[in-house]
Amino acid sequence: MIDLLDVSYVRLGTADLDSSVRYATEVLGLQVARRSGKSVYLRSDARDHTLVYTEGNTGDQVSGFQVRTPDELANAAAVLEAAGVAIKQGSVAEAEQRSVNDFITFSDPSGNLIDLVIAPHHSGRRYFPSRDAGITGFSHIGLCTTNAKRDEAFWTTVLGARVSDRIGDAALLRIDGVHHKVALLPAPKGGVQHINHQVESIDDIMRAWYILREKNVRIRFGPGRHPTSGAMFLYFEGPDGMVFEYSSGVRILTEEEDKTHQPRQFPFEPISFCMWGSKPEGMEFHS
C-alpha cells in the first residue's frame, strides 16, 4: 500500500481570478504567497501554499497529497499501476509550478484528480493573514464519490487510508492521527465537495458567522458540531460554488488509538452530521 503523509494543497480553476483571490484574502483569510502567470498561490500555514487559483475551467480541480521520499513515490507509482490505475509523471516545469521536488498524477475511481508529491516547499516566513480569521492551517478535503464502497476500498487498500467513522456509506478517512483528512461523500459526480481550514476556537467560528452574514456570504451549514470528529464547524460558499469550512476541536487519535480504533456507523440523517441540530442549506448529501 501507499503511505500518505499529509494533504498538501488544492488547485482550483476559476472563471474570475481577481474575484476569487479577493474572496480568499478578504473573506476566507488567506495570504497571497505570489502570483505567477494566470495563477495565484495562497498560504494558510507555514507551507509555501495550500490553495492555488488558476484562471480557467472551474472543473479543473487537483488535490495534492505528500509521501515521504523519492523511493516511496516510485513505490506509489508501481502500486497504482499494479492496481490498473493510469499515472502521469510530472515534468520539472510542473513540479516547479507546484513548489514540490517531484510528483505523479492519477485519478481515483470517481475521477478526482490526485497529485502525489514529495518535498512540498515550506516558507521561511510565517503565515500572516489578510484578516484575523484565526486559521491555524489547511486540514482536510471532502471529495465526491459516485460509488462510496468502491472508492472507500480504493482509498484504504491502495492509498493506505483508514476509516475513522461512516455516516451511511460516506466514509471519513484518516492518514495520520487527525480524525479525517479525506471525507468521501456520495454524489452524482466526482469533484472537491469542500475545503477545510482549522481555526483556533469556537470564538473564531462564531466571529466568522457574523462577518460572513455582514458580507452576504451564503452560509451552507452550521454553526454546528460533528458527532463523528467532535469538531465545531461552519460551512460557507466561495467562488464558483466551492464550499469552505472552518472547524475547531477535531479529534486527534493517539498512536495506540490509531492502531485499535474501530470505525463507528452513523445513520444517514441530519443528526449524524450535526449534534446541535443544524441542517445544511443548499449542500447536497446523498445516501
Q: Which pLDDT band, with edges at 50, 70 and 90, does 287 fall under? A: very low
Query: For cell 481577481, what's the residue?
Result: 18
**Nearest-angstrom CA–CA distance, 185 and 168:** 10
Query: For cell 510528483, what's the residue?
Result: 103
pLDDT (mean) for 189-206: 98
Question: Which has more confidence, 244 or 282?
Answer: 244
* Per-residue confidence (pLDDT) for residue 17, from 0 to 100: 98
pLDDT exceeds cutoff 80 at 154: yes
SS3 209: helix
Question: Which has more confidence, 130 or 236?
Answer: 236
**Cβ count within 10 A of residue 236:** 22
Give yes or no for a cis peptide into 223 (omega within 30° of 0): yes
Domains of the chain by start residue, with CATH: 6-118 (3.10.180.10), 135-273 (3.10.180.10)
* Per-residue confidence (pLDDT) for residue 284, from 0 to 100: 58
